[in-house]
Structure 1
Amino acid sequence: MQVSAREDIQAPIDAVFDMVADFERFERMAMRRGVEVRRTVEMPGHWVGSCWEADIMIRGKPRHVAVEVAEFDRPTAMRFRSTSKGMNGLTTIDFLSLSQKQTRLSIEMSLAAKTLPARLLLQSLKLGKARFRRQFQMRLSDFAREMEERYLHGA
């Protein structure tokens, strides 16, 4: 299953990249939402090879997910590989400078099942794909507005 979204942000590409690369902020956000996150491998400067493990609830069941930075190409792209029991994922984040003060942020996420229970989970997600895609786009839009505010106010 693949889902993608994109959003134009009123901030320079370097500022947007730095805000997306603020992994500590994302760790704190996840913990505030009840997700247990542990950084298992930390590479200097957030380079390729940094890894996290998280315990999350998906459809009412606890899932253990491992995430690794697969690509870190400043300031144009980031790629993350994720694995869990029965499922693999790849998330690609691309940054495109539209002007000196505007950046297009594109996110593509693909999930692939390795086991029958994972296939059933993916199938249930596919049935609600339109709703899932709308929520994904809405959250990216909210995140983009937050990044614009942070850039404008120097936070």
Structure 2
Amino acid sequence: MKFSTREDIEAPIDHVFTTVSDFAAFERRALRHGAEVTRQDEGPVKLGSAWDIGFKFRGRDRRMHSTIAEIDPPNQYIILTVSEGMTITGSVDLVALSPGRTRVAVAFDLRAKTLTARLLLQSMKLAKTKLNKRFKARVLEFAEDIEDDYRKAGQV
């Protein structure tokens, strides 16, 4: 099952890539929401950087392992996530529309490896319209935050 959306952002591609690849900020956000996040390497994020993530979902402890499968600053990165029974491929693609405008495309492809995961995906398919709306709203909110941060940085 695939979720995808794109948004245009009034900011240069370098600024947008810096923000969408700020993995330390994503780690902090996950920690604030009760997840356990452990980075497997040190230094700047690069090809092969990995995280172990633990969280509660539907009353059970879940574990995931995420790895940077491809990174091409400032154009794109792909994250491969493996969990119990499911593989998730997430991609963020950026295209400079002009020097001050960037299009960001975000996509997640979920694939089940076990019967339990297939049942979860099947129930998600029944609610796909609602989940897609929420996904698009979150990406839009994130894009608006990037624009606001860029405007504020320009005024300082």
Fold-level match, TM-score > 0.5?
A: yes
SS of the residue corresponding to residue 40 of structure 2 reads strand
Correspondence list, 1:12-31, <5 A: 12-31=12-31
**Aligned residues between the structures:** 154
Distance 2:34 2:80 in 1: 22
Q: Distance in 2 between matches of 1:100 and 1:59?
A: 45
Alpha-carbon separation, structure 1, partners of 2:122 and 2:59: 16
C-alpha root-mean-square deviation of aligned residues, in Å? 1.3
One-letter amino acid of the structure 1 residue matched with residue 39 of structure 2: R
Q: Which runs of 4+ in 1 moved over 4 A?
A: none
> Which sections of structure 1, spanning at least 5 residues, go unmatched?
none
* 1:120 to partner: Cα distance: 0.5
Q: Residue 72 of structure 1 aligns with which residue?
A: 71
Deviations 1:49-76 (A, max 9, x none): 0000111233333210110001110111
Which amino acid in 1 is paired with 2:38?
R
* Distance in 1 separating the partners of 2:85 and 2:106: 23
Q: Distance in 1 between matches of 2:22 and 2:8?
A: 19
Rounded Cα–Cα distance in structure 1 between residues aligned with 2:130 and 2:60: 20
Residues 5-154 of structure 1 aligned to structure 2 (within 5 Å)? 5-42=5-42, 44-154=43-153
Q: Aligned-pair distance for 1:45?
A: 2.9
Using the aligned pairs only, state the percent identity: 42
